[in-house]
Amino acid sequence: MCLICEDSGGQPTLLLKEEEILALYNEMAPVEPFLFYHSKNGRTSTFESVAFPGWFIASSERSHPIFLTSHQGGIYNVNFNLNINA
């Protein structure tokens, strides 16, 4: 499963889609709806949609689904602690 950003009624929406990662990787051109800019600031990371600049992966409360927002620093959290274990 992959995260994808699609337009839904004029609003960018974050969805899960069944897709082969290697198939996306082997495309001649970037498949922008599946891509995110990862920015790191200290210990936190943000993920901005390539297809919808200014829209970020966000969360509201623990155990609730993630979504996209264009409002940074508001009531939604766009800063995530990312721990990568090799």
C-alpha dihedral (13, 36, 59, 43), degrees to nearest 10:
-170
86 in a structural domain:
no
Give the residue numbers spanning the domain of 25: 2-81
23 in a structural domain:
yes
Please write the tens of the pLDDT for every residue from 51-73: 999 999 999 888 889 999 998 87
How far apart CA 34 and CA 20 sit, in angstroms, is 11
For residue 40, give the CATH number of its domain: 2.80.10.50
Tell which wins on pLDDT, 27 or 5: 5
Total-model pTM:
0.86
The count of domains in the chain is 1
- What integer pLDDT is reported at residue 50 of this predicted model? 96
H runs (alpha helix) in the chain: 21-25
Helix (H) or strand (E) holding 14: strand 11-17
